[in-house]
Each structure stands twice: as structure tokens, then as C-alpha cells.
Amino acid sequence: MTEISDLPAATKWTNWVGNQSFTPAYAAAPRDEEEVAGLVRAAADRGARVRVSAATHSFTPIVETDGLLLDLSAMRGVVGTDAGRKRARALPGTLIRDFYAPLWDAGLALRNQGDIDTQQIAGAVATATHGSGTRYTSLSGVVRGVRLVTASGEIRAIGEDEPDLLHAAQVAVGMLGVMTELELDVTDAYRLREKVGLRSWEDVMDSWDTLVSEHRHFGFFWMPTEESAALYNLDAHGERVTDQCYVKVYDEVSDDVPDDGTEGRRVDRCYRIFPMVYDPNFHELEYFVALEKGPDALRAMRELMRRKLPDSVYPLEVRTVGADEAFLSPQYETATTVISVSGKPGTDYWDYLRSVDALLADFDARVHWGKLHFLTPERLHALYPRAGDFIAIRRELDPEGVFLNDHLRSLFW
């Protein structure tokens, strides 16, 4: 029988940007589902809480625990593909980039992904990590089945025959149990043409509907100062960038379209086009407003940053995401405009972020669970119509709150 008291002393855990750190009482790196179940049972028997660390990309204290911290990085790999059903199965510690070769070899690809591919799939799903484009959901929206170790140590398989459970599990922030396997809906392999270039703010706002509707993926960075581009490694080719938008659009192309080397117009396999390289030099808040409210919210954000927050130099990142059915998804039953703002590590940026929160609250903004936010229980229930149903399922699967921490308990107990 597993005894967590026999585990080696835990060391300090710190996230990738250094704004969250703690030392759990216990830490373990299980190698398989059976070991996960034994560790969860042992922790629950001692009254210890359990969280999973994933790849450390969250800015919020969702990982923190005074009990047992699990590292699932040894449970890694794509374990099955089905080209006929367009499905792929993977272990929880599988990095997004680990999907590339196995899927492509099977004639498949992820339907969509973000611009960071070093996240573990279970963590990315748990927090509704997304890419761009209203035709496509977040990674959570393509989850068609999960295997969970619940608080009792039971192994529970949840699939499409239990839609409410599945929609609760798709975005659960680790509160329903420990994911040990996921099944994703994927698609045929495809290639993309990326077009990147500077456009004025007025041009982007005037062209908003066209940019959103006519491209597979569309996003941009609005840059408030000349310093902005370098902070996110954006190559402006020596042009002035103040009040300009660094626009990226992506569209599918056939196999016979070459990459002719034209500047700002790459053509390649989808998984080579999506990723970007970021230095971990920022702390991020990311809110979601209904797609149709996007332009007005963005104009208000630009005004806030230019008139009241002149020291804010980080780009404002903007994307769109398609609707899905996950109870805690920012895209629950609505396509969204994604608005991401950042603060500099080592500075007191809280007044700035609270100003952003107050402004976007007027647009009924939902939050990214892995990024800084100021959500309250009252706002949770007002903004997420199925929040009560999620909490009921959480209480059924984990009545003692084994998988909660103080941050999550304040919202979901």
C-alpha cells in the first residue's frame, strides 16, 4: 500500500514566470494510473489535499497545495490514433508538441492550438488554453473522453454518453480528479500560410468583421509604445510601432503551395506555424468578452492604456475563439474576443490590472483560469450559467474537497 509519509521531502515549487511558489508537504511523480490512484487514496486517508503541477505555465495559484503535489511528466505520450474517427488518445503529461509527429504520421493534426507548445495537455485542457479563430474551440472543446482518478482513488472513465460529466471535466482546473488519459477530436493533416504585418489601429478596427470571418485564424498585438514589440520578440523590421497593430492571419493551403520565402508569408505544416518563442518576462491577465462586444471593449482598453496608464508598455494581445459546451469554459455557448494584458515582473502592477478588471467587468468578461483574475463567487455564477451544475458534480465526485486549495475553495466549495 502507498504511504505518502514514505515519500522524500518535497522541494519548493515555482511557476515559469516566478510569481507563484510554495513548498508542499509531499511530492510524487507517479509513472502510471495505478500509482496515481494509490497516492490519491493515501493522501485522502491522511486528510491531505492533492494538486497536480503540469508544466508550470499558470500565473494563478491553482497548483498550490499544503498537501500532496503530483508531477505527471513521466506519464507522457500519444498512445493511440484513429484516422477514421479522427481521434487521438494521450497521457496527461504529453506536451502539445508531442502530438506533432504521431498525428502527422497518421495523416492527422490538432484542430487548433496556441502559440506555446510546451504545456502538458492535461493542464492546457484543465484551464481552457486556446488558439485563435471563431471556427475552432479551445483545446478543452475537443476533449471527447477522459479517465480520472477521483478523490476515493476510484478510476472513472467519462465519455460522450455522459454529456454533463464530460462538459464538467473538459474545463475542471483539476477539481474533479487527476486526469490519467484524454481522448481528443482531431482533424486531417493540413498546412497553413501565415501573413504577418503592421496595420494601423483604425484599419484593424474598420476591418474587424472581415478579419474575423475570412481567415482560419486571426489575432494581433496592439503596441502602445516603441518598446512594445521587443517585449514579445515581435520583428517590426525597423518600422515605428507606436499605436500600430502587429497582425497575424493564417489560412489553409493545399500541398502544392510552396513557401517562396516572401517576408512575412511563411507556408508550412500547421504545427510549425503556430508556435512562438516568448521570454518569461511578463505576468498576464486574460479576459474574454462576447465576440460582438469585442471592438467596443478593445476601444475602451486602448483609451484606458493611452490616457490613464502611460507606463503600460506591454502589447495588448487580441484573438478570437469559437463557442463550446464546457461548463467553466470562457466560451460556454458563445464565441469570444480574447483580451490579454501583461505586467512587468518586479513591479507593482495591481492597480493597472484592477483597472482592467473593472473596465472589462462592464462587458461581462469571463476569465482564463490559468491567468491573473479577480473573479468572485457572485461574478462566477452570473457569468457562467452552468457554474452551479459544475459545483454539484465536483461535490459528488469529491465531497471532502481533496482536490481543492484555498484559491479554488473560495470560488467552488
> pLDDT tens, 328-380?
999 999 999 999 999 888 888 888 899 999 999 999 999 999 999 999 999 99
Averaged pLDDT of the chain: 95
pLDDT of residue 276: 86
Distance CA 131, CA 124 (A): 11
Give the other-Cβ count within 10 Å of 142's Cβ. 23
Integer distance in angstroms from the first to the last C-alpha of the chain?
Answer: 30
pLDDT for the residue 259: 87
* pLDDT of 280 higher than 80: no
Closest by alpha carbon to 49, among 391, 397, 393, 401? 401
| Phi/psi at 359 (5° precision) | -65, -50
Q: How many other β-carbons are positioned within 10 Å of the β-carbon of residue 407?
A: 15
Residues 139-166: tens digit of each pLDDT: 999 999 999 999 999 999 999 999 999 9
Least confident of 129-133, 222-226, 273-277: 273-277
Share of the chain above pLDDT 70, in %: 99
* Residue tagged 486528510 (cell numbers): 47
Residue 278, pLDDT score: 79
- Condensed to tens digits (0 to 9), the pLDDT of residues 53-91 reads 999 999 999 999 999 999 999 999 999 999 999 999 999
Residue 1 pLDDT: 56
Show the domains of the chain with their CATH numbers.
191-369 (3.40.462.10)
User: 377 — alpha (psi -120 to 50), left (phi > 0) or beta?
Assistant: alpha
Neighbours of 64 (CB within 10 A): 21
68 neighbors 151 (Cβ within 8 angstroms): no
134 C-beta neighbours (distance < 10 Å), count: 21
Q: Helix, strand, or coil here: 408?
A: helix
Bridge partners, 330 (sequence order) = none
Give dist(CA 172, CA 399) in Å, integer. Answer: 15
Q: Per DSSP, which regions of 44-114 are E strands?
A: 50-52, 68-70, 78-82, 87-90, 108-109
Give the per-residue pLDDT at 263: 80
* pLDDT level of residue 312 (50, 70, 90 thresholds): confident
Place of cell 492571419: 249
Q: Which residue has the higher pLDDT, 9 or 126?
A: 126
Q: Of 33, 93, 94, 42, nearest to 68 (Cα)? A: 42
Q: Does residue 307 carry a pLDDT above 60?
A: yes
Q: Average of pLDDT values for 7-29?
A: 92
Residue 284 in contact with residue 372, Cβ under 8 Å?
yes
How large is the average pLDDT for residues 39-62?
95
CA distance 110 to 100: 8
Q: CA angle 139-151-405, nearest 5°? A: 70
pLDDT at 136: 96
